[in-house]
Amino acid sequence: MREKTIRSCILHPMNDQRISISCERIRTLFSPELLDVLAVIARDQPAGIYLAGGTIRDLLLGRQPADVDLTVACHGKAWAYELARRTGGSFVELGREEDAGRVVFQGETVDFSSFRAGAVNIDQELVKRDLTINGLGLCIDALIGRGACVENEEFTIIDPRDGVQDVRDGVIRLCSRQSIVDDPLRLLRVFRFAASLGFRVADATLAEVEGRRQLITGVAPERIAHELDLIMGSDRAYKSFVLMAETGLLFEIIPELLPGVGMEQPASHHLDVFEHLLETLRQMERIQKDPGNFFPGNSHAMESWLEQGRHRQQLKWASLFHDVGKPATYGINETKGGRITFYNHDLQGADLFSSIARRLRWSGEDTKTVASLIAAHMRPFFLANNQRQGKLTLKACLRLASFLGNNLPGLFMLAMADALAGKGEGSPEKIEQEVAGLFNRMQQVWQEHVTLVRESPPLITGRDLINELGLEPGPIFRRILGRVEEAQMEHRSMTRAQALALAADFAIAQKTEPRRPAEIKGTSTEEMDRE
């Protein structure tokens, strides 16, 4: 109700078709203290302070702007620095080559930027921006000077490229053909804003992206990764990645995806490798909107996992890359009638993805989580096959639980999206129900075996490996203790002597000779299997 009220108030057509925004609406963006300080700073600066860019766009859409974008003729950093000094806020320089700065003050974020190179007035400044919907401005000198509004006062939007109409029509359009040349990152920003706002991209803009897509290779990896992540963090990532692929931009950034285009798959799939990756991403967006619809009775477990940290983005990245290793592992099995194979594509894909993540300067945490999901994405299907044959074991479930840990919900959502995206004639019937049922089983294993052991004091520690077995500390300790923990989860009833015996046996298998203390001599790990 509030959004409708705001929109009807601020979209006020004038006789000359210009649009204005009420002073009162603009004043709500600034605290009284902030307005007072800006007024003091303005006395020593040239006239002309403009609200611009995304702030105007959000106001037109009836949204509360996340921050305030202010544009001045010159000395943008000086404005920001002085505001931070006078308010006690934090100053952040925005770009070494730009005269721009950010101030964070009592939860408010204010960005300052100077006119871009060559611009001598606000109209010239606005047409140098990326998109028409961001090429909007509004002079607020009167508000800053008075600190208050006159009754019924309105400020007219400066709109040199018909951005207001594009906001109304929901269209993403470049301000000019020069826009991409000035900053090739704008190739990606086209799709980022389309994804975040739900707008369509104008055909002419798509053509410009296609024609200039190679310019993206000159952009810093960190900037590219940031825009890609914003796209993936939206609810419309699938549509944006489809468009990026159609223009060729996606393959300029991630050429590792190109070999999957047109690559045929086994009968269980109805799409080629690349189309399957996109379809898996589409299905993942469906699942994330309503996990309980795909995993009855486990909605809370899925939604709780998705709300932690960056899991939503990580899982969607895993969806897009889960089969990236297939082209490198493509083969034909003549003994099975010429069947197409991709042996170990999961592990190959995890390695390939990790190299992509390093190139794009991803964080270690994101890389580790996504790579582990890719490496394990076939395991639920292996378990489903074992279950179909009546061969599903507790040990197999525990190994998967140990490998993924708390990320099990993410793995099973990935498996569900993968299954939904593979609808060939050879696809197992009711595979989605099998995946959902297996997650129920894994939840049971986690509660009855994993949680029970991990919440209890360990039977042995690294100190025991040193004192009792005479082992030298090293990476092997983690593997030994992990093996003991896994055995304890499997058998539940396990003595300290049995744990030490198992540790000694494992050390021997790893070509490390332990001592055999008296208390474990004659103790066999086979006893646990007889219990």
Task: Tell me the pLDDT of the chain (531 aa) as tens digits.
Answer: 333 323 233 333 333 467 999 999 999 999 999 999 999 999 988 779 999 999 999 999 999 998 899 999 999 999 999 999 999 999 999 877 789 999 998 888 999 999 988 899 999 999 999 999 999 999 999 999 999 999 999 999 999 999 999 999 999 999 999 999 999 999 999 999 999 999 999 999 999 999 999 999 999 999 999 999 999 999 999 999 999 999 999 999 999 999 999 999 998 899 999 999 999 999 999 999 999 999 999 999 999 999 999 999 999 999 999 999 999 999 999 988 889 999 999 999 999 999 999 999 999 999 999 999 999 999 999 999 999 999 999 999 998 988 898 999 999 999 999 999 998 888 888 999 999 999 999 999 998 888 888 888 999 999 999 999 999 999 999 999 988 988 889 886 789 999 999 999 988 888 777 776 655 655 554 545 444
Q: Which amino acid is at 273?
A: V
Q: Residue 103: enclosing H or E segment and its boundaries?
A: strand 100-105
Q: What is the number of other CB atoms lying within 10 angstroms of the CB of residue 50?
A: 25
Q: Strand 19-22 vs strand 154-156: parallel, antiparallel, or unpaired?
A: antiparallel
Q: Residue 21: enclosing H or E segment and its boundaries?
A: strand 19-22
Say which residues have a Cβ less than 8 Å from residue 105's Cβ, sequence separation at least 6. Answer: 34, 83, 84, 87, 88, 89, 90
Global pTM? 0.88
User: Considering only CA atoms, which of 377, 369, 319 is closest in space to residue 348?
Assistant: 377
**How far apart are the C-alpha atoms of 101 and 98, rounded to whole Å?**
9
Is residue 428 within 8 Å of residue 384, measured between CB atoms? yes
**How far apart are the C-alpha atoms of 467 and 146, rounded to whole Å?**
78
* Structural domains of the chain ordered from first start: 2-166 (3.30.460.10), 170-253 (1.10.110.30), 286-449 (no CATH), 462-530 (no CATH)
User: Can you tell me whether residue 107 is helix, strand or coil?
Assistant: coil
Cα Rg of the chain, angstroms: 30
User: Can you tell me whether residue 222 is helix, strand or coil?
Assistant: helix
User: Considering only CA atoms, which of 148, 316, 174, 293 is closest in space to residue 232?
Assistant: 316
**How far apart are the C-alpha atoms of 300 and 296, rounded to whole Å?**
10
pLDDT of residue 126: 97
Is residue 18 within 8 Å of residue 156, measured between CB atoms? yes
Residue 456 Ramachandran class (φ > 0 left, ψ -120 to 50 alpha, else beta) = beta
Number of helical H runs and strand E runs in the chain: 29, 13
* CB crowding 325-356: b at 16 or more within 10 Å, else e: bbbebbeeeeeeeeebebeebbbbbbebbbeb
Q: Strand 108-114 vs strand 68-72: parallel, antiparallel, or unpaired?
A: parallel
**How far apart are the C-alpha atoms of 62 and 508, rounded to whole Å?**
69
Q: The sheet that has 49-52: what strands, in order across it? A: 90-93, 100-105, 108-114, 68-72, 49-52, 137-139
Say which residues have a Cβ less than 8 Å from residue 385's Cβ, sequence separation at least 6. Answer: none
Q: Is 159 exposed, middle or buried (0-12, 13-18, 19+ CB in 10 A)?
A: buried
Q: Residue 382: enclosing H or E segment and its boundaries?
A: helix 379-388
